[in-house]
Amino acid sequence: MSLISDDMQQLLLGYCEPESDLLQKIDRETNLKVLMPRMLSGHYQGRVLSMLSKLTNPGRILEIGTFTGYATLCLAEGLTANGLIYTLDINEELEEMVRRNFEASGYNDKIKYILGDATETVNHLDETFDLVFIDADKKNNGRYYDLIFDKVRPGGLIIVDNVLWSGKVLNSNPDKDTRNITTFNDKIAADTRIEKLILPVRDGLFVIRKK
């Protein structure tokens, strides 16, 4: 199911900031050349991520799941002058495209693009993060959350994508993937160390603030 109608989506786009030429190019190229282009954050969600980043004004961002770099660049918009964003991904086939996208941006020097299994590479990051965006393989959401939690400063944000799973979380007889999403959502709901809410943006963004 679609969370909002196409007409409402167009109205929302009409009232938010426009995409840059580069972000438009990344969106277009991803849809033309990459399998499962729906994984791209896209214009509206990208502006939401940008706004949350700018409100946080982070010195350090961690992104788990780079894909083609669209969300990375949106999040980078809020970085402090000396800020860095670490983005972790396992898909080496997209490396050339991703690096080209980063090099075409004004943020290339602020981006640390790390290839490998994020459940392992995240352990090598000796940083305290102001903002974390988790948008990778959904079955590992809970594991990523546990791995990064102590690396997030008090007051920092953790944002998790796809937590409404195209509305499938409402199904009375869910499939395995949907059960994984619901299990993660229930885990977050029960965590007393945080404040949390779900924004019904695109496929659902869980916005989590560490107390």
Domain coordinates of the chain in residue numbers? 4-208
Place of tokens 């660049």: 73
Q: Is the Cβ–Cβ distance between 118 and 89 less than 8 Å?
A: yes
- What integer pLDDT is reported at residue 3 of this predicted model? 84
Tens-digit pLDDT profile for residues 164-177: 999 999 999 999 99
Q: Is the Cβ–Cβ distance between 29 and 97 less than 8 Å?
A: yes
As given in the structure block, the two tokens for residue 129 are: 């993060």
**Nearest one of 156, 116, 165 to 132, comparing CA atoms:** 156
- What integer pLDDT is reported at residue 80 of this predicted model? 98
The whole-chain average pLDDT of the chain stands at: 96
Compute the half-sphere exposure of residue 174: CA atoms within 13 Å on the CB side of its CA.
Answer: 16
pTM tops 0.95: yes
Q: Is the Cβ–Cβ distance between 164 and 188 less than 8 Å?
A: no
- What integer pLDDT is reported at residue 144 of this predicted model? 98
CA-to-CA distance for 19 and 70, rounded, in angstroms?
A: 11
Q: CA angle, corner 85, sides to 79 and 86, nearest 5?
A: 170
How many CB atoms are closer than 10 A to CB 151? 17
Which residue numbers in the chain have pLDDT < 70? 1
Give the CATH number of domain 4-208; options: 3.30.565.10, 3.40.640.10, 3.40.50.150, 3.40.140.10: 3.40.50.150
3-state secondary structure of 72: helix
- What integer pLDDT is reported at residue 1 of this predicted model? 61
Place of tokens 């990523």: 144
Q: Bridge partners of 81? A: none
